[in-house]
Amino acid sequence: MRRISVKTMFLLVEVGAAISMLALSFLLSNLTGQGWVLLAGALLTACALVWLFLLTLFFAKRLSQFTNDLCRTMDSMISGGQEPARAEDRETIFARISYRLSRLYNILQENRRKVDEERRELQTLVSDISHQVKTPVANLKMVTDTLLAKPVTEQERRDFLQGIRSQTDKLEFLVQSMGKASRLETGAVTLEKKDVPLLDTLAQAMSGIVYGAEQKGISVEVQCPDDLRVSHDSKWTAEALFNLLDNAVKYTPAGGKISVSVEQWEMYVKLDVADTGKGIPESQQAAIFRRFYRAEEVHDQPGVGIGLYLAREIVTRQGGYIKVTSKPGRGSTFSVFLPRR
């Protein structure tokens, strides 16, 4: 049946109906012995064939119109044109197909929007990485060209090698940070929340900034209850807190102070990292969490501008959030809110 065309199917129905009605008329005429019965049957058959023919023409025209509309709609969907018009009568099969086409169109549009957004993000990411890699690579080329082009003293050689080491450390940090961010964004890493002491997580984060704080004479004060347990991923949360603390050490002048305090709220645990650094203007506070963002006045400090972005991603993926309170010349306070459960 699937191989028979609609036109052939209607023709078979009309022929079958005509044969059946004529056969019945002939049979009734023989049984009754009345000739007019056969004539009446022939007239009824002719009327039925006329109406079937008209029905065939109407259906063929309606089917042709629907097919043309369907083709135009599909072409419009492929090219990303306007949304298909929905049929007014919702009980017909055409309306049901139109409704599903409209849903399919919306799905395709959403997928197209997501693809365009991902493409833009990828272009931005490639541009940012290129910008971040350009400076250390240029410095490495300059140093190696100098070492190859002319003889240098032992002290100059050590200075050049120290510069090479500094630039390679920056590249290594960039690659590691991008790897962490990529694993989080693509879902390659699943954060496993467990009910563990928050002080242990904070201690992991603090261990990474102790030496830098001592070198600058920065005092670090921590206030956190020993028995406070919070449902969180200890390893990744420690990474987020380390990034906040590391920024505090970088931008706090020698002899300054960093304070870490914890408050227990009804649904969240609030962890504040406050410093006595230069502060952040209000116009920049929304931008500092963007990937690779660095203000002009801090370009002399080490870093690539991915720490705060990574910290926000880690906290957000655990159902929490980060906010910043700061004024120029009066320090900054980064507040981390982690859900208690």
Domains of the chain: which residue ranges?
Answer: 6-82, 127-185, 194-339
Answer whether residue 211 shows pLDDT above 70.
Answer: yes
Higher pLDDT, 292 or 136: 136
pTM of the prediction? 0.58
CB 262 within 8 A of CB 271: yes
DSSP at 85: P
Q: How confident is the model at residue 87 (pLDDT cuts 50, 70, 90)?
A: low
In the chain, % of residues over pLDDT 90: 13
Average pLDDT over residues 32-57: 74
Average pLDDT over residues 220-237: 90
Q: What is the CA radius of gyration of the chain?
A: 38
- pLDDT for 160 equals 82
Q: Which of 76-90, 192-206, 220-234, 279-293 has the lowest mean pLDDT?
A: 76-90
- pLDDT for 43 equals 76
CATH number listed for the domain at residues 127-185: 1.10.287
CATH topology of domain 194-339: Heat Shock Protein 90 (3.30.565)
CB 267 within 8 A of CB 240: no
Tokens of 272: 């504040």
Higher pLDDT, 283 or 233: 233
Average pLDDT over residues 71-93: 66
* Largest distance between two CA atoms of the chain: 133
Sorted by sequence, the CB contacts under 8 Å of residue 145 that are 6+ apart come out as none
Tokens of 177: 């940070």
- pLDDT for 113 equals 83
